[in-house]
Amino acid sequence: MNITLTSMVVATKGQMSSELAGQEVILNLQSGVYYGLDAVGAFIWKQLQSPRAVAEIRDAMIAQYNVDATRAERDLLALLEQLRQTGLIEIKNETRA
């Protein structure tokens, strides 16, 4: 399943996370593996605590960090794909008629 700007994303219930010195540490409860996110990743992780469209998270990144929209979208999609592969988020593509 491809992640698009209209995809709805949310953190899975099978994880625990904590902020540590401006970064985020996440434990996948199923695999027992820890993951770490830098400050930007931690900002994105906070956005994922309730279901959001990828475009909404991208727009929040642009507002927070004054980053180019193309770069924000590329970096966000790459991070979301990594989080999906590790089982830390759920992706739901919306269908438009």
Spell out the domain ranges in the chain: 8-92
**Paired strand residues for 15:** 28
Torsion angle of C-alpha atoms 14, 35, 56, 49, degrees rounded to 10: 40
Question: Per-residue pLDDT averaged across 73-86, rounded?
Answer: 96
For residue 55, the model assigns a pLDDT of 97
The CATH architecture assigned to 8-92 reads: Alpha-Beta Complex (3.90)
Does position 94 have pLDDT exceeding 80, yes or no?
no
Listed in sequence order, the residues at least 6 apart from 12 whose beta carbon sits closer than 8 Å to its beta carbon are 87, 88, 89, 90
Does position 95 have pLDDT exceeding 70, yes or no?
no
User: pLDDT grade, residue 92 (50/70/90)?
Assistant: confident
- Tell me the whole-structure pTM to 2 decimals: 0.90
CA angle in degrees (0–180, nearest 5) for 63-69-74: 120
3-16 pLDDT, tens per residue?
A: 999 999 999 999 99
